Structure 1
Amino acid sequence: MRQPGPALSVGIEDIRDAARALDGVATVTPVERSSALAGVVGVPVYLKCENLQRSGSFKIRGAYVRMSRLSEAERARGVVAASAGNHAQGVALAARLLGIRSVVYMPTDAALPKVAATREYGAEVRLVGTTVDDVLTAAREESERSGAVLIHPFDHVDVVAGQATVALEILEQVPDVRTVVVPVGGGGLGAGVVAAMAAVAPHVRVVGVQAARAGGYLQSLAAGEPTKTVTASTMADGIAVSTPGHVPFQIIKDGGGHIRTVSEEDISRALLFVAERAKLIVEPAGVAGVAALMAHPEEYDDGPVVAVLSGGNIDPLVLLRVLRHGLASAGRYMQLRVRLVDRPGALADLLQDLARSGGNIMHVDHVRTGVDLAIDEVEVTMQVETKGPEHCAALLDHLRGEGYRISE
């Protein structure tokens, strides 16, 4: 999104004040040059590693700035927040640093490592509902009931100002940056980057990226106001927000509203790519920008490009599933179903043929009975590791050439 002239609700002095407040609190995260991504996009590409930030994401920036500006009376009442994980940890850590009591509402299915980390930072965690909307409702009710200050994950000028400090660091670390690609959920981080660039580097293009299954900004920008969108399940739960915040929406709208979406396959491929080539552990939401670069590299030829890796808080079990999904999307992992005649040695022959083709068998299921199987048939389901799309095609051609009946 190219930034036009109108004054935004978060100005450069707000952002510089936020940077001063965060001095010694938030880490100035590194920027890593990615030759592998540069080869895909055709221009220099850098990764802004907010996955290495304190509490594992950029959220500590906005949470701390918001809470540091509370009055003594407000601090005495405590704070309440709602989050699926990253904002929860940011609020809990900020509250501990500032000596403020915190209550955090999280979904009942929130990742166990995120729940545990939030508690370890000192917050009281309450599990309710299954969505971000559910926990936000519960947090608002708690705020009204107890007087605790609601620390919204994205819809406040102080939060946006805190997140905008990421952009100031990018400008220092990559002075010739031309494009910044950033994950967008509620919009706090995206709006912060837009506001900062509008003030000091209006020539820099900012592209916000959402999961296609939770692309609330596209509908809202078309409507001209924040609009609730029906979201589907997405592995990028950190940016699965149904309604943009009013403050970040207005900033992004005034900044041109340039939003892209990426598919689940795009996200899983990007997560695998970052793990393999950049040697970084990033959560699915955090690689949305990389996913956009890989899916449509032709749109990012105005470089250098900086992709913000917004967080690295991922449940190891989720990481395992997503990596498997990424391997399948990249043609490195496939599942086969093969019908065999039920005779001694048939399975051994199949396995030997797979071995000769270079396929590495990860798992085998051998089914001897089924309503669609003939009395002399068995079905073998296999998970096979391959060396890429061309190897997949060659392996299938070889097996079919040997007379096997295959369903992928």
Structure 2
Amino acid sequence: MSFTHLDVLYAARRLRHVAVRTPVLSSSLIDDLVGRRVSLKMENQQLTGSFKFRGAYNAVGSLPELKRKAGVIGASSGNHGQAIALAARLLGTSATVVLPDDAPAAKHRAIEALRARVVTYRQGVDNRDITVQEIAHRERLTVVPSSDHPAVIAGAGTTALEMLQALPDLAAILVPVGGGGLAAGTAIAARAYSPRLKVFGVEPVTANDTQRSLRAGHRIRISTPATIADGLRHTEPAPMPFAINQQYLTDVIAVPEGDIVEAMASLWRNYKVVAEPSGAVAFAGLLRAAHRLPEGRVGVIVSGGNVDWDSYRTMLDIAIDRQGRRIHAAPVLR
């Protein structure tokens, strides 16, 4: 299926009066630290707390009326589940979310609060995709994947579209990579603005399926990753995003777990922003690999902020210990 920036523009039209046009923030301290201007797109302030709402709403909204009314289903680590739950509610239909049994409690509760049905599976034991397909077939529901769907990719791409409309002089964009939908949508939007604009994916070292796949020239499957970035625990890139990323991504930066918690702490300290581990990964990539980026302003997508308070506090404590000093985030830890 062909996919162009026009799909992103159509998604932007559908989302125009629904999704939040999230802010872009800057910090002179970070600019000085990395030696260039840095602008952060704050998708942690999107509806449901992550960029996922954009793709989910675009996908559910683009369904024929009869299919939409029958209901939708999707598998999720949490954020996509919240997104399709809200999209379904706003569009007058029902949603079922297949969720791992170890998903953060806050995400589980949020999905149920949006009146979606939650079906859990055992991570590393059950096959979630088979579970989704069985339920969808039995109940005649439409599957809305978290990444591997043109409308989901197009919706995700509106994040970068908004950033580029505000900052047309960007030299590079850093974006987290899980299934690859956000990276693919970002790459498509970026290329429409300028073929010279570089897009770098960022993922945890322990979940570097996309990095390894791009270097191998084909999709590589890895074992279930052990990472605090629960939204990026993919074992293989999704086919459709991978085809786009293989063509347009400049590179993928892999960051260790310690860098992720330090990025979370830095986001709080410098921007007063709460980011979940997956949401902070692209910023971690900036702090680790700024020297690899082209000269000029850099955009970073902070993709989500859905994190349990206890987990967040623990991770900031770890970051403080790693840095060996108390930071301005200290009051929030008491």
Superposition TM-score tier, normalisation by shorter sequence: over 0.9
Aligned pairs for 1:89-108 (under 5 A) are 89-108=82-101
Cα deviation, residue 37, structure 1: 1.5
Change (3 A) 1:132 1:260: farther
Query: Quick one: distance in 1 between partners of 2:182 and 2:322?
Result: 29
Map of 1:201-350 to 2, 5 A cutoff?
201-332=194-325
Q: TM-score, with normalisation over the residues of structure 2?
A: 0.94
Select 1:144's aligned residue among 137, 144, 166: 137
Tell me, yes or no, if the aligned pair for 1:52 and 1:312 is still in contact at 8 Å.
yes
Does 2:56 align with 1:67? no
Query: Which residue of the partner structure matches residue 107 of structure 2?
Result: 114
Letter paired with 2:147: F
CA distance in 1, matches of 2:92, 2:207: 36
Cα offset, 1:281, TM superposition: 0.3
SS at match of 1:46: strand
CA RMSD across the alignment:
1.7
Deviations 1:114-160 (A, max 9, x none): 11111111211112212598433321221122221111000011110
- Identity value in percent: 38
Alpha-carbon contact 1:219-1:229 (below 8 Å) kept: no
Look up the match of 1:342.
Answer: none
What does the per-residue CA deviation read over 1:336-385, in whole Å, with 9 as the maximum and x for residues that have no partner? Answer: xxxxxxxxxxxxxxxxxxxxxxxxxxxxxxxxxxxxxxxxxxxxxxxxxx
1:316-339 deviation line (CA, Å, top 9, x unaligned): 111012111111221237xxxxxx
Any idea what the Cα deviations from partners look like across 1:252-283, whole Å, max 9, x if unmatched?
A: 00114511100001101110111111100000
CA contact (8 A) 1:80 1:104 kept: yes
The structure number with the bigger radius of gyration is: 1
- Greater RCO (CA < 8 Å, at least 6 residues apart): 2
Deviation at 1:293, TM superposition (A): 1.3
Equivalent pair of 1:83/1:132 in contact (CA under 8 Å): no
What one-letter code is carried by the residue in structure 1 that aligns with 2:64? Answer: S
Tell me if 1:38 matches 2:31.
Answer: yes
Q: Is the 8 A contact 1:213 1:231 kept in 2?
A: no
Contact preservation (8 Å) 1:82, 1:104? yes
**Quick one: distance in 1 between partners of 2:185 and 2:27?**
24
Letter in 2 for 1:169: E
SS in 2 for 1:250: helix
Q: Equivalent residue for 1:179?
A: 172
Q: What's the CA shift for 1:299? A: 1.5
SS of residue matched to 2:74: strand
Structure 1 residues 9 and 258, CA gap change in structure 2 (3 angstroms): farther
3-state SS of 2:244 partner? helix
Which structure is higher in helix share?
2
Whether the 8 Å contact between 2:124 and 2:224 is mirrored in structure 1 is: no
Distance 1:27 1:214, change over 3 A: same
2:201 alignment partner AA: G
Task: Confirm whether residue 20 of structure 1 aligns to residue 13 of structure 2.
Answer: yes
Deviations 1:212-270 (A, max 9, x none): 11010122113322221124311111111111111100000011451110000110111
Mapped to 2, the partners of 1:131 and 1:309 lie a distance apart of: 28
Native 8 Å contact 2:198 2:250 kept in 1: no
Structure 1 stretch displaced more, 164-173 or 228-237: 228-237
Contact 2:101–2:123 (CA<8 Å) still a contact in 1?
A: yes
Q: Is the 8 A contact 1:83 1:135 kept in 2?
A: no
Aligned counterpart, 2:331:
none
**Cα deviations by residue, 1:18-72 (Å, 9 ceiling, x for unpaired):** 0000011111100011212211210000110000001000000000111111112
Question: Is the 8 Å Cα contact of residues 267 and 284 (structure 1) preserved in structure 2?
Answer: yes
Is the Cα–Cα contact under 8 Å of residues 107 and 132 in structure 1 kept in the other structure?
no
CA distance in 1, matches of 2:212, 2:91: 38
Q: In 2, Cα distance between the equivalents of 1:133 and 1:229?
A: 16
Paired position in structure 1 for 2:128: 135
Where 1:105 maps in the other structure, the secondary structure is strand
Q: 2: CA distance between counterparts of 1:140 and 1:149?
A: 9
How many residues are matched? 327
Contact in 1 for aligned 2:71/2:94 (Cα 8 Å)? yes
What is the CA distance between 1:301 and its match in structure 2?
4.7
Residues 1:56 and 2:56 are matched in the alignment: no
Which residue, out of 71, 75, 87, partners 1:78? Answer: 71
For 1:91 and 1:133, how far apart are their aligned partners in 2? 22
Q: Aligned in 2, Cα 1:223/1:133: closer, same or farther, shift over 3 Å?
A: farther
Worse-superposed segment, 130-139 or 107-116: 130-139
Once residues 138 and 39 of structure 1 are traced to their aligned partners in structure 2, the CA distance between those partners, rounded to angstroms, is: 49
Q: Deviations over 1:84-128 (max 9, x none)?
A: 110010000000001111111111111111111111112111122
